[in-house]
Amino acid sequence: MNVKDQVIAIIAEQALLEPSDVTLDSTPSDLGIDSLGLVEAIFAIEETFDISVPFNANDPTEGDFDISSVAKIIEGIEKLKAGQAA
């Protein structure tokens, strides 16, 4: 599985949806993921990709990690993977 499919699988599991229901332009709240669900999804992302995601539930927009859509999340992970592998 590539990063995109893995992320969609994680988000789908969190949202109790089929991966086919998760589109790239969905936002976490479109999918019914609340702040606690988001924290859990980010944990799964960190474990899956062995990266550390800067995310503070008090201010989700504070870090560099953009969670505004599935596509942005995938983009952020690609960036972190490249940066943290180096």
Partner 1 sequence: MKRVVITGAGTINALGFDVADTFKAMREGRCGIGPLEFRDVDRLAIKIGGQVHGYEPEAHFNRQQLSLYDRFTQFTLLAARQAMEQSGLEFHGELADRSGVILGNSGGGLNTQDENFRAVYEDGKNRVHPFVVPKLMNNAAASHVSMEFNLRGPTFTVATACASSNHAMGQAYQMVRSGMAPVMITGGSESMLCFGGVKAWEGLRVMSKDACRPFCATRNGMVQGEGAGVFVFEDYDHARARGADILAEVVGFAMSSDAADIVMPSKAGAARAISGALKDGKIAKERISYINAHGTGTAANDKTECAAVADVFGAHADSLMMSSTKSMHGHLIGGTGAVELLACIMALKDGIIAPTIGYQEHDPECALDVVPNEAREATVDVVMSNAFAFGGLNAVIALARV
Q: Which residue has the tokens 């229901």?
A: 21
Between 25 and 34, whose beta carbon lies closer to partner 1? 34
Least distance (Å) between residue 14 CB and partner 1: 15
- Which CB atom, from 50 or from 59, has the smaller least distance to partner 1? 59
Tracing tokens 């870090």 back to the chain, one arrives at 63
* 5 versus 62: smaller Cβ distance to partner 1: 62
The residues binding partner 1 (CB under 8 A) are 34-36, 39, 42-43, 52, 55-59, 62
